[in-house]
Amino acid sequence: MWIFPATPPPGPFRREFWRSPLRGPWLTSILGSLLLAGVTVVALTGFASHAAYNPDLGRNALIDPGLDLPLLTFDWPTQPAWLFGLSQGLHVIVGLAVVPLLLAKLWSVIPRLFAWPPAVSPAQAIERGAVALLVSSTIFQFATGILNAQ
């Protein structure tokens, strides 16, 4: 067990630093549900794009062709011709549209990221580390996706 001072340091670790009546579990859950729907569309259209660009993925040395991976190894249809454009348009537009949702969700949970004390047990330290990895990887994915679209 770690020993931390009883009073948090000045700044974001103090509860009164994050004053907003909007923050709460209801806003976080609504934003999370909307973000889940948007990220699902972006992921599925991204997989479809990958399959369209890589039709030989099933015979790739990195993936055993004997595995049954229909999501990754399906043949992209050649007709109708506009289907690929629709898929890419959805991928880019929905990907850009969920950026404000991601930022709003981070805004709604940021007081929890600065909780004091940082961890009272090893299990809580692991949990907080996992949350930090999740937040940073999500920001990295969106940032690289936007830079790639640019």
Model confidence pLDDT, tens digit, residues 77-104: 777 878 888 988 999 999 999 999 999 9
Contact 99, 147 (CB under 8 A): no
Place of tokens 């679209």: 149
Number of C-alpha atoms within 13 angstroms, CB side, residue 113? 15
The pLDDT value recorded for residue 14 is 64
Dihedral class, residue 21 (left if φ above 0, else alpha if ψ from -120 to 50, else beta): alpha
Question: What are the angstrom distances between the C-alpha of 93 and each of 15, 39, 88, 97, 109?
Answer: 37, 12, 8, 6, 25
Contact 57, 50 (CB under 8 A): yes
Distance CA 7, CA 148 (A): 44
Q: Which residue has the higher pLDDT, 124 or 1?
A: 124
pLDDT per residue as tens digits for the range 24-74: 788 889 999 999 999 999 988 888 887 777 655 555 545 555 555 555 556
Q: Which residue has the higher pLDDT, 43 or 20?
A: 43
The pLDDT value recorded for residue 63 is 55
pTM for this model (two decimals): 0.70
